[in-house]
Amino acid sequence: MDIQTDHRYAINLNVRGIQPSATLRINELSNQLRAEGRDIIKLGLGQSPFPVPDRVVDALREHAHEKDYLPVKGLKALRESISGYINRSERMRCTWEDVLIGPGSKELLFMLQLAYYGDLLIPRPSWVSYAPQARIIGRSVHWLPTHAENNWQLTAEELDIICRDDPSRPRILILNYPSNPTGCTYTDDQLLAIANVARKYKLILLSDEIYGEVNFEGRHKSIARYYPEGTIISTGLSKWAGAGGWRLGTFIFPPELRPLQDAMAIIASETYTATSAPIQHAAIAAFNGGEDLDEYLKQSRRVLKVVGEYLHRRLTDMGAVVQKPEGAFYLFPDFSNFREALARRDIKTSQALCQSLLENTGVAILPASDFGFVPDHLAARLAFVDFDGAEALALAGKEYGEQELSDDFVKQACPRLVTAMDKMEQWLTGL
């Protein structure tokens, strides 16, 4: 019997209409095109270009034999290491019991929405997986408007407007900064104002700070300083320690939200059981920090800052409108100035723009429609990660030393990014 054509075997899926993760999809497409012989410059998937620090790799090697199922909430020594890290960096007083470990912050976010029945509030633009996760679970998603002149950042006023009509409604607000996809971050005053509104409506605030350590100036502050009782801090190893494929994330809860933490642990116990033991043991070295990791972060920030500023300048000179990044490794250029020229080529959506750019230049970027915008918003996210991070760190630290990094450094350390800008400029000029 052919079960594909027999209606008795029709399968009703709760992911109908939801595509695979946009970042993973563009990465797989880029790899496929490369395998076919195309020279693809991969600016789609936001994977850190830098290697995992040596001491952390050594710790993984040392603990590769660890095979036990660890406690659902995570290894106590790691939870102690993370609480110490947060207390040092944010001047907080959390304890190891406030920490929950998971196989990536993405998994923890999914479990949060399973455990807490509330609407999801997401500033637009946002990371590609927030809204699809909510739709899979069946939660309501409310997009919060932001504006280019405000660096696409949420204001306290816009948050208050969405909450005031139903002030007691349970809600989760996601705040991600430095931002994926814009690279912009919040000032202390902005964080304080948002915190006051969150407190007014008793919101659960998930502060996604996975890029906090790659704030270019090393001055990241958590909104948990201003709204400690309602903020969950989310971080991990993927972005600042180059260990995306290791899959380790962490949530740090306030004591007031311990019941929510416990509920998530119950879900974890019935799903993934525990996070990989060797990875957890190795992660202790990362979160304990030290002079070597301080130097690693210092050089990583120097490299990302000069690269971000170079690409920002090149894109601006081309005629795109783009905000100057302050952290992470993203830019969010708007190509609306080219709308008429693009329309003559029947390019009227951000998806069509990125598809045509990939086909004609080999430069892979992601459309604004993947980040919460309507299809005809002609913007895109560019992840400036297609360079050899190990060589860039060595060049910045050993050859340049304390000398200011410049365009010459970018051309030497990141030639594929320079080529990407040349190709994009030529393509836009030829429209």
Residue 367 Cα distances to 134, 146, 417, angstroms? 21, 17, 18
pLDDT in tens, the chain (431 residues): 444 545 555 555 666 555 655 556 766 777 787 788 788 899 988 899 999 999 999 999 999 999 999 999 999 999 999 999 999 999 899 999 999 999 999 999 999 999 998 999 999 999 888 888 888 888 899 999 999 999 999 999 999 999 999 999 999 999 999 999 999 999 999 999 999 999 999 999 999 999 999 999 999 999 999 999 999 999 999 999 999 999 999 999 999 999 999 999 999 999 999 999 999 999 999 999 999 999 999 999 999 999 999 999 999 999 999 999 999 999 999 999 999 999 999 999 999 999 999 989 999 999 999 999 999 999 999 999 999 999 999 999 988 888 999 999 999 999 999 999 999 999 999 98
Q: How far apart are CA 189 and CA 221, in angstroms?
A: 11
Q: From 3.30.530.20, 3.90.1150.10, 2.60.120.260, 3.50.50.60, which CATH number describes the 18-47+292-429 domain?
A: 3.90.1150.10
Which residues of the chain are in CATH 3.40.640.10 domains?
Answer: 54-288
Q: How far apart are CA 59 and CA 189, in angstroms?
A: 40
Taking the C-alpha atoms of 50, 54, 58 and 64 in order, what is their torsion angle to the nearest 10 degrees? Answer: 0
306 contacts: CB under 8 Å, gap ≥ 6: 405, 406, 409, 410
84 contacts: CB under 8 Å, gap ≥ 6: 287, 288
Residue 366 contacts residue 25 (beta carbons within 8 Å): no
**Could you give phi then psi for residue 177, rounded to 5 degrees?**
-160, 145
Considering the domain delimited by 54-288, tell me its CATH architecture: 3-Layer(aba) Sandwich (3.40)
